Amino acid sequence: MQKHIFKIVLLALVLAVISCTKAIIDEGDKSTLPPITKTVTYEADIKLIMTNNCITCHAGPAPNAGLDLSNYQNTKYSAEQGSLVARMNSATNPMPPNGTLSPQTLQIIDKWITDNLPEN
């Protein structure tokens, strides 16, 4: 019986190590990711990122910081003239406030900037 418990504990440990390793890889630096080769557009890529992560606070009649990120023009303006990119990449003052998004998502934002913020 004791042997059996030992095996279960060992298996749990192995699984924990595997999932930790995976988490570390997933949260790797975006500079180590393979480059995005397609053109990133607001409609195809950025809109969904904003919808899923930002507009709960940055939309509606009284958006936080007066910043409404529910449409192309405002999102483009904030990325070009404002602090959207800096805040999304900030370790100390991130947006969303509860922590930076995945390196994969941040890489998509960077590529959108490189591509000159196209809508479609």
* Dihedral pair phi/psi, residue 85, rounded to 5°: -70, -45
- Closest by CA position to 26, among listed 100, 76, 89: 100
Stretch that binds ligand HEC, among 3-11, 26-34, 87-95, 110-118 (CB under 6 A): 87-95
Beta carbon nearer to ligand HEC, 8 or 61: 61
Q: How far apart (Å, rounded) are the C-alpha atoms in residues 105 and 20?
A: 20
In the complex, minimum distance from the CB of residue 118 to ligand HEC, in angstroms, rounded to a whole number: 18
In the complex, minimum distance from the CB of residue 102 to ligand HEC, in angstroms, rounded to a whole number: 11
Q: What angle do CA 54, 69, 93 make, to 5 degrees?
A: 50
Residue numbers of the site for ligand HEC (CB under 6 A)? Answer: 53-54, 56-58, 64-65, 67, 69, 78, 82-84, 87-88, 95-97
